Each structure stands twice: as C-alpha cells, then as structure tokens.
Chains A and B, each alone.
Chain A
Amino acid sequence: MSTMAPPAYHPVHEQHEDQPGIPLARVVRVELRKMFNTRSGFWLIASLVILGVVATIGTILFAPDDQLTHNTFAAAIGFPMTIVLPIIAILAITGEWSQRTGLTTFTLVPDRRRVLLAKTVASVVVGVAAMLVALAVGVVGNLVGTAITGTDLVWDLSAAQFGTIVIGSLLCLLTGTMLGMVIRSSPGALVTYFVLTLVLPTVFGILATNQPDFVDVRPWVDAELARSFLFEGPPDGGEQWAQVAVTAGLWLVLPTLLGLRAVLRSEVK
C-alpha cells in the first residue's frame, strides 16, 4: 500500500458509542439478497418462473379445450410452486449451517431471532411475489391458449380462491422454514420435507383405507389433506378452516417453536 493513501481503518478516531442498531428492514433486505446471489439460489428462484411458463405451455398443448380456463392454468402453475417454494425457504435457513456462513451472519446480528424473522419475512416476500407472477402468467396463458384453440375465455378463478391458494402455498413455504430451523442441514431438511409431503400422506391414506375410524380423524392430523381444501377453492364452512388451523398448529407452529429453541441454543461452528 502506498504511504500516501490514508489507510481504510481508524481504530481510535472512529467512535461508535451511540451506534444506531440494525433495523429489521435492513436485515430482511440483506437476507433477500442472499437468497438470490448464489448460483443455486438464483436458479432455484428462476426455476419458479421457468416452471410456470412450462406449465402454461403444457396446459395449452395437452389440456382438453373445454378445460382451458384460468383455474386450470392457476393450478398447473401453482403445483410446481408448492414444491419449489419450501425448498427455497429451507435453503435460506440451512445455508447458514451447511455453508457455515452463520459464523459471519450471527456475529453481525447476534440476536438470532431477528435473523430467523428476517429470513421468514424474506421467504414470504419471495413466495407472494412468485404467486403474483403465477397469476399473471396464468392470465396470459388463458388469453393466448383460448385464442389459439378458439374456445371461450373463462375467468373462473375468484379472488377468494386465489387468496386461499396463497395461504396454502405460504403454509407449504413456512413448513420449509420450520424444517430448516429444526434440522439445520440442507440435505437432512430436504429429505424430511419430501417425507412429510410425499410419504406421510400416503401412510395416512393407507391408514384411512384400512381403518374406517381414521377417516374422520384424518383431516385433523393430515396437513397435506387439510391444505388441499385451500387449493381446491375456499374451504366450505368453519370445520375445514378449523382443520387447516389444527394441522398447521400441529405440523407447523409446534415444531417451529422447538426449532427456534434449538437455533437459539445451538453452537455455531
């Protein structure tokens, strides 16, 4: 370094006595950036858009003409999202442990609850944005698809239904956040996620076929089943909403609290 240039540090002259703290909005912004600025993160989020477009094209090509409605497009685009969004949410959390970046992150923001909150908010922001993109792609798909086939335009996706789809997708996404906190390892959390969403519902299904008594209990314990009420249109009546709430409490809120405890106690190495 040349002797003319002043050094870029002034350990004494700089007084930080009354430093303002780090506002949560700033932590959220940085965490959002961290979700995009790796190759895997970028492609994961890009895959949301790509899958959305592919699903739209597939719907135009393969769906029967009379089913080319906005609802069909929304469902086709929404399905890959419910798979990819939780993965994004998982990696946002587990990366701090699997990639060991937590050593820096938790040293800059010692209150780990703030980091986790910021990551959750950032994941939800990505989720909602992705869903709005899906809505827009669905609109374009519906316009283009019906124009190609010459069928009537059908706008059968109500605002209420879109709302419950958003809620259902966010529940999926937050399940990813929860698993990230509980397991704190990318491969482990990903495997567990697929066990929860693919294996467990199958087990519940088999149980329901063999144990008639279980059929009534199932919607109260099977989170996948309860969430499907949200995706298939606004749940009818209070009972289905209650089932959504109970399963979310069981499979989301409770483990999140355990995960939070584990994160706060765990040693960052």
Chain B
Amino acid sequence: MITIDSLTKKYGRTTVVDGVSFVARPGRVTGFLGPNGAGKSTTMRMVVGLTKPSSGSSTVAGRPFAELANPGREIGVMLDASAQHAGRTGREILTIVQQMLGLPGRRVEEMLDLVSLTPAEADRRVGNYSLGMRQRLGIATALIGNPGVLMLDEPANGLDPAGIRWMRDLLRDFADRGGTVLLSSHLLREVEVVADDIVMIGHGRVVCEGSKADLVRSLGTVARTDDTPALRRALHAAGVDTDVTDEGTVTTTAEPAHVGRVAFSAGIALTELRTADGGLEDMFLELTADTQREVTPSRKNRRERKAA
C-alpha cells in the first residue's frame, strides 16, 4: 500500500505539487494520470525521498519510506529506465541491486527470464539498449527484491505493442496476487486498460479520483431518437434531467440501462444509446484542459461556448 497525504512541493513561488492525497491499495492497479508537467514524477520522487516535500507525508507498506530497513524488498521503483550507467551491462546492473539487497545470486537469472532479456542482451552494455529493453531491465530491477508494492513512472514508454501487452499482463497479475501497483502515464488509453483505480492530476492538484467503474458510470448517457421532445418528456417524467447537444442528441447523467427502459415503456424508438462520448478521455481532456499545452481549436471553441 502507498499512502500519500497532502504532499506539496514548492520551488520558490511555483507550486509543482499542491496537496496531493490518495491511496494506492493492495490488489489493485492505481493509474496516476496527468499531462506532462502535471507533477506526477515529483510526487513519486517525494514518496521515495529523492525530493524533499515542502509539506505533507507519505508511507509505503505503512511506514515512512526512510524508515524501511531494506526498502528494495518492500517497494520496487522505476522512475526513469534511462537513469543507468551506460557503461554497465544489464546483468551487472541487476547484480549490483541483488547484492545491495542481500539476495541470492539466482535472482538475477530469474529476473532476466521474467522480463525476457536473453543472455546475449544481458551481457551488452546498457548504452546500446533500446528504450524498450531499458524498460524491461527497469522492471527487473524493481521486482528483484520480491516487493509487495510497485511504483513505476511511465513504464510503457518506448515499448512496442507486444511489450505494452506484456507489461499490462504482468502488472495485472502482480495486483491479482495481492500486490499494490502505482503507475503513472500521460496516456489515458494505457491506464484505462489496466487500472482499477484512477487518480487524475493537473497543475499539481488531484482533479478527480476513484475506481474506473465509478468514473465511467458518472459520465452519464447519450441517446438519440427521431422524436427528441418525446424522449425528453418521458425522461423528465421519470425524474431524469436532460440536455440536448448541438448535434441533436439527448444527454443525461442517468445510466444507459435506465434511459433505455424509460424510452421502451414510453414506446420511443432509440436510434443510439451509449455512455457519454469518448469515455474517460473527454473527462481527462476536460479536467486537465487548463494545464494542457496544446488545445485543439474545436475543443477550445466548445469550452468557450460553455463558458459564455
């Protein structure tokens, strides 16, 4: 378990992380989501003591990180797969960690097997590794101490589709066995597939937090019919508020099943019925829109229209 309590980091007048609190629970994959520069990495660095928080605290496995006797056996950390001495071989890097943690030598081979680095690759210097190979080595380094908690910053960066699938399955399996996984990403798709819980961060603040199921549900429903006023009347009669979009669809906060039933009993034929557009992605873009460096013109217009 990782518990983060009001972590704040200020550099002079700039607040990079602003009172971030959340819990990454055992048996679950927690996705830490936000655009670049939102404060994800700084938060993670504060958890493992590489950056000193301005205020707030955090614990790993119930204890402050600095009080863990042998932290590498409690939490596997990968903050930047490229932060390795280019002149060491992959095997040597694993051996250093194995010796520091006081683990049997066979763990090095076990980890190389686990992340599918061949003996020939393991004996090459990391300077010659592709980013994907570095990520695999980073995962091996994180798992070598057999920890109960994993904390990975952008682990899927540089992996090919097969590698992303492999990483996803591994994290899923780790959590299913009762482990805690906290992984960050600026790509919603990556997190959406594997995460049970999602914490969204923008401008250093948590903007939204909850289980993926809840977050999807809270988005509501989009329905389309040939007789829009009739559908709205039926829904209002059932106590459901509605809106009509420019495109002529009816949106509500109710669940699709409910909308479908109401329409059915009113004898209205629906031509379209689904959860609100784009799933989490729209929410992600909306919630973090202020912090996005790039705003697409259409989206910007829509927001300005809303504001007006």
Interface residues of A (CB under 8 A from B): 1, 7-12, 14, 16, 19-22, 26-27, 29-30, 33-34, 37-41, 95, 99-104, 106-111, 265, 267-269
B146→A10 contact, CB < 8 A? yes
* CA distance in complex: A106, B49 (Å): 8
A19→B179 contact, CB < 8 A? no
Contact with A along B46-81 (1 / 0, CB 8 A): 001111100000000100011011111110010110
**Given A9-B146, A27-B100, does the pair A107, B84 have CB atoms closer than 8 Å?**
no
What number of A-B contacts does a CB cutoff of 8 Å give? 134
A12→B101 contact, CB < 8 A? no
Instruction: Please pick, from A19, A30, A103, A104, the residue contacting B74 in the complex, using a CB distance under 8 A.
Output: A19
Q: Is B119 at the interface (CB under 8 A from chain A)?
A: no
* CA distance in complex: A33, B94 (Å): 13
A22→B99 contact, CB < 8 A? no
A37→B80 contact, CB < 8 A? no
Shortest distance between the CB of B38 and any CB in chain A (Å) = 17
Q: Which residues of A contact B99 (CB under 8 A)?
A: 26, 29-30, 33
B71→A107 contact, CB < 8 A? yes
Of chain B, the residue at the smallest CB distance from A100 is B83
Instruction: Please pick, from B61, B77, B100, B113, the residue contacting A109 in the complex, using a CB distance under 8 A.
Output: B100
A104→B50 contact, CB < 8 A? no
B85→A101 contact, CB < 8 A? yes
**Given A21-B70, A37-B92, A107-B72, does the pair A8, B85 have CB atoms closer than 8 Å?**
no
Using C-beta atoms within 8 Å of the partner chain, give the interface range for chain B: 35 or more
Interface residues of B (CB under 8 A from A): 26, 45, 48-52, 61, 65-66, 68-74, 77, 79-80, 82-88, 92, 96-97, 99-102, 107, 110-111, 113-114, 125, 141, 143, 146-149, 173-174, 177-180
Shortest distance between the CB of A263 and any CB in chain B (Å) = 12
Instruction: Please pick, from A12, A100, A108, A269, the residue contacting B72 in the complex, using a CB distance under 8 A.
Output: A108
Shortest distance between the CB of B39 and any CB in chain A (Å) = 14
B84→A12 contact, CB < 8 A? no
Of chain A, the residue at the smallest CB distance from B82 is A100
Q: Which residues of B contact A10 (CB under 8 A)?
A: 146, 177
A16→B74 contact, CB < 8 A? yes
Shortest distance between the CB of A12 and any CB in chain B (Å) = 3
* CA distance in complex: A53, B61 (Å): 54
Q: Which residues of B contact A40 (CB under 8 A)?
A: 87
17 A-B pairs (CB sep. < 8 Å):
A8-B114, A9-B174, A9-B177, A12-B148, A12-B179, A20-B69, A38-B87, A39-B125, A99-B84, A104-B83, A107-B49, A107-B50, A107-B79, A108-B72, A108-B101, A267-B50, A267-B51
A111→B180 contact, CB < 8 A? no
* CA distance in complex: A38, B99 (Å): 17
Q: Which residues of A contact B65 (CB under 8 A)?
A: 110
Instruction: Please pick, from B79, B101, B173, the residue contacting A7 in the complex, using a CB distance under 8 A.
Output: B173
Shortest distance between the CB of A149 and any CB in chain B (Å) = 43
Of chain A, the residue at the smallest CB distance from B79 is A103
Task: State the 10 A-B residue pairs at the shortest beta-carbon distance, nearest first.
Answer: A11-B179, A12-B178, A100-B83, A38-B87, A21-B69, A268-B50, A103-B83, A8-B110, A19-B69, A99-B85
B96→A34 contact, CB < 8 A? yes
Known: A10-B177, A107-B79. 20 other contacts (CB 8 A): A7-B177, A9-B114, A9-B177, A11-B180, A16-B70, A21-B69, A22-B70, A22-B102, A30-B96, A30-B100, A33-B96, A39-B87, A95-B85, A100-B80, A102-B50, A104-B141, A107-B48, A109-B100, A110-B68, A110-B71
Of chain B, the residue at the smallest CB distance from A11 is B179
Of chain A, the residue at the smallest CB distance from B83 is A100
* CA distance in complex: A16, B148 (Å): 9
**Given A95-B85, A100-B83, A110-B65, does the pair A22, B100 have CB atoms closer than 8 Å?**
yes
Of chain A, the residue at the smallest CB distance from B80 is A103
* CA distance in complex: A258, B48 (Å): 24
Q: Which residues of B contact A8 (CB under 8 A)?
A: 107, 110-111, 113-114, 143, 146
**Given A37-B92, A106-B49, does the pair A99, B177 have CB atoms closer than 8 Å?**
no
B85→A38 contact, CB < 8 A? yes
Shortest distance between the CB of A241 and any CB in chain B (Å) = 40
